[in-house]
Amino acid sequence: MSEQWVEVCDADDIEEEDVIRFDHGDRTFAIYRSADDEYFATDGLCTHEQVHLADGLVMDNIIECPKHNGRFDYRTGDAKGAPVCVNLNTYPIKLEDDKVYLKLG
Amino acid sequence: MSGQITGPVAIVGAGHSGGRTALALREQGYRGPLVLIGEESYVPYERPPLSKQLLLGAAEAPDCYLDKRADYTGLDIDLHLECSAVRLDRDKRTLKLSDGSIVDYQALILATGGQVRQLTIPGNDLEGVHYLRTLKDATALRASLLDARHCVVIGGGFIGLEVASSARQMGCEVSVLEATDRLAARVLPTPISHYLHDLHRHNGVDIRLECRIQRLEGTDKVEAVVLESGEILSCDRVVVGIGIIPNTALAETSGLDTGNGIRVNAHLQTNDPAIYAIGDVCEHRSPMTASWCRQETWRNAEDQARHVAHHLLGDPTPFQSLPAFWSDQYDASLQLIGNPSAAAHTIVRPHDDDHILLFHLDASARLVGVSGFGPGNRISKDIKISAQLINNGGPLDPAGLADPTVKLKPMLKA
């Protein structure tokens, strides 16, 4: 399959050290902008209960799930301890012309 | 306990807090004997889905399990289900179980939870009258609500309101009968009660406040609720959610201090330092208000379990955790953290897209609690930031808190 880059949003649509939700087809993703102005993408739903991570809080490199405080490193998808023990998938991101693109895996 | 425990650990109560303690001990490297004793037939599970996803058919029992693999044997946790502790000998440090076995302990954790408070009015034993505390209760209630027409919920607290929300979504007519003058009055600030009231009214629930019930009527099955006013509400199901009574009997007969729960110190130890109490049954002094309090929340079960595991493994830090609570009803969620009741005044932070935050400040403009209400998990981010603002403890600018265009996150770094 050829590379599938999809446009997410303008680079400025995400604040620094924050996250937004991005739905594409029947899939949902969380798109992050770090305090260092880097962009990342993970699965949109927490692996503990199906809750949108974009409603959670980004602090440093951690996204904390809105409901049960499950924590993941959003750069790697790693679960940082109970109640979450299953990692998130991560997805490549690129910036072109001040737009954010996500590569579907 | 001082230093790292090596000897046997016994946990009475295989609910959320008991189960989490066992899992956390293993996660953190405790390799000694570990016994977990539970009266129910299920492995440890989380309760929040019982009144929501499980009733709606969006989750089944295994979805609620605390450890989704439920591999207690693999973790070398000696799990006794459908079993209770019948006698505690503190001198010998032994527990006698209902299956006749004797368990030795070096540390004992009482996570005995509570049982539902039952109605004592005539008709309370009719078929069609339900309570909701356990997975078994929830499974029975789901089956019962599937062909119900009119469900009367007795008690306008969280269990009652979450059941009302689920029952409406299942197509039942629903009435909620509450004894006080507003919903969830024991826990919620008044404005949040009012939002919740409006939410249920918009969803077609008939809410009766300051409502006194005289009796339930029916030949075999419940057919009506008779109010003290003489009004008769016909119905085919009743769900009672009027609170729980903490299970303190084992502690009381063993000479442990109890009040409205099993009383513990700042490390969650009872007056016998080898015995801890955690979860719904634990009564501890609030670090913020110094009054005795008992919390029946997911967060408390989780945090106290982890605290005890850490303490057993040699961490001397006292238990410090902000009270935190949420409830999902229809497509809305409310959250509350800290101690709003300890506030001198409250600042409203309105948002135009239908959500609201209330900041509860003490006399020195320090944040002591935050509550909020809104669609989905819209308020979660701000509630999390607020939790850190409470922990930071410094005075905050009331004007900034009241202005939704002033962001909260930078206040953390101020």
Answer yes or no: do B302 and A64 touch at CB < 8 A.
no
Exposed (0-12), middle (13-18) or buried (19+): which is A33, by Cβ within 10 Å?
buried
pLDDT band at B244 (very low <50, low <70, confident <90, very high): very high
pLDDT of residue B355: 86
Burial (0-12, 13-18, 19+ Cβ within 10 Å), A87: middle
Average pLDDT over residues B10-22: 98
How confident is the model over A78-94, as pLDDT tens digits?
998 767 778 999 999 99
Inter-chain contact B298–A68, Cβ cutoff 8 Å?
Answer: yes
Confidence tier at B1 by pLDDT (50, 70, 90)? very low
pLDDT digits (tens, 9 = 90+) for B340-395: 988 999 999 987 667 889 999 999 889 999 999 998 888 898 999 999 999 988 88
With 80 as the cut, is the pLDDT of residue B414 above it?
A: no
CA distance B384 to chain A (A): 7
Looking at the domain that runs over B331-413, which CATH code has it been given?
A: 3.30.390.30
**Size of the A and B interface in Cβ pairs below 8 Å:** 34
Could you list the residue range(s) of the whole structural domain that residue A95 is in?
A: 5-103
For residue B228, which amino acid is it? E
pLDDT given for residue B351 in this prediction: 76
Domain covering B9-115+244-312 assigned CATH 3.40.120.10 in the classification: no
In order of A29, A92, B338, B407, the CA distances from A89 in angstroms are: 10, 10, 34, 30
- Per-residue pLDDT of B252-306, as tens digits, reads 999 999 999 999 999 999 999 999 999 999 999 987 778 899 999 999 999 999 9
**Is a pLDDT exceeding 90 seen at residue B170?**
yes
Q: For residue range A5-42, list pLDDT tens digits in order.
A: 999 999 999 999 999 999 999 999 999 999 999 999 99
In chain B, what percentage of residues exceed pLDDT 70? 99
Min CA distance, B305 vs chain A (Å)? 12
Residues 306-335 of B with CB under 8 A from A: 326
Tokens of A91: 């997805």
Report chain A residues whose CB lies below 8 A from the CB of B24.
82
| Same-fold call for B9-115+244-312 versus B118-240 | yes
Does the B118-240 domain belong in CATH 3.30.300.30? no
Q: Test A55 with B378 for CB contact under 8 angstroms.
A: yes
Is the per-residue pLDDT at A48 higher than 90?
no
Q: Where are the domains of chain B?
A: 9-115+244-312, 118-240, 331-413
| pLDDT one-digit tens code per residue, B315-333 | 999 998 889 999 999 999 9
CA B10-B12-B18 angle, 5° bins: 90
Does the bond joining B48 to the residue before it have cis omega, within 30 degrees of 0? Answer: no
Tokens standing for residue A80 = 């940082």
List Cβ neighbours of B125 (8 Å cut-off, separation of 6 or more).
none
Identify the CA nearest to B155 among candidates B175, B169, B128, B135.
Answer: B175
CA A62 – CA A80 distance, rounded (Å): 9
Contact state of A66 with B377 under an 8 Å Cβ cutoff: yes
Cβ pair B380:A83 closer than 8 A = no
Q: Which residue of A has its CA nearest to B380?
A: A66
Please write the tens of the pLDDT for every residue from B83-117: 999 999 999 999 999 999 999 999 999 999 999 99
Residues near B395 by Cβ (< 8 Å), separated by ≥ 6?
B364, B365, B366
Contacting B with CB below 8 Å, chain A residues are 17, 49, 51-52, 55-57, 64, 66-68, 81-83
Q: Distance from B132 to chain A by nearest Cα, in Å? A: 21
Query: Are A51 and B409 within 8 A, CB to CB?
Result: no
Contact across the interface for B378 and A17, Cβ inside 8 Å: no
Locate the chain A residue with the closest alpha carbon to B375.
A55
Q: Average pLDDT of B128-150?
A: 97
Q: Inform me whether the C-beta atom of residue B28 falls under 8 Å from chain A C-beta atoms.
A: no
State the CATH number of the domain containing residue A75. 2.102.10.10
Query: What are the two backbone dihedrals, phi and then psi, of residue A42, each rounded to the nearest 5 degrees?
Result: -135, 175
Residues of A in contact with B381 (CB under 8 A): 55-57, 66
Whether the pLDDT of residue A77 is over 80: the answer is yes
Number of domains in chain A: 1
